[in-house]
Amino acid sequence: MDEKEVVLTALEQVDKWYVHLAGIKGDTILIVSKKPVPEKLTINGKDYTIKYYTPEQYIETIRTNEEEFRSFRIYYFVKIYMRKVLDILTQLEVERMSINGDDIKGL
């Protein structure tokens, strides 16, 4: 079973109508949902740890740690929520670029 199938199967085991975003990294499945999900799921006899965030928690987390988004392969998302995530990541990148630009001007 490939990663995408694992993520989609995991969503069938939770209430996917509340899920905003889902991805996978190794044996960990990321689920961003309005409704709490189990800490572990078994898919095809293999146990997966679930990393759960509410939509608001996840936005705050990626503001301080982009790797929480970038390190997972995302296979499911709600378009409006993904746009919000990408807007935040873009904003952070622009801030970094302007800080680096200010450092160069000061030289």
φ/ψ bin of 106: left (φ > 0), alpha (ψ from -120 to 50), beta (otherwise): alpha
Confidence of residue 96 (pLDDT cuts 50, 70, 90): confident
Domains in the chain: boundaries: 3-105
Q: What pLDDT sits at residue 107?
A: 53
In the chain, the amino acid numbered 45 is: G
Please, what CATH class does the domain formed by 3-105 belong to?
Answer: alpha beta
Higher-scoring residue by pLDDT: 104, 59:
59
User: Over 90: is that where the pLDDT of 82 sits?
Assistant: yes
pLDDT of residue 75: 97
Mean pLDDT of the chain: 93
- Is the pLDDT at 106 greater than 60? The verdict is no
State pTM to two decimals: 0.86
pLDDT in tens, 5-23: 999 999 999 999 999 999 9
Share of the chain above pLDDT 70, in %: 93
Burial of 20 (C-beta count, 10 Å sphere; 0-12/13-18/19+) = buried
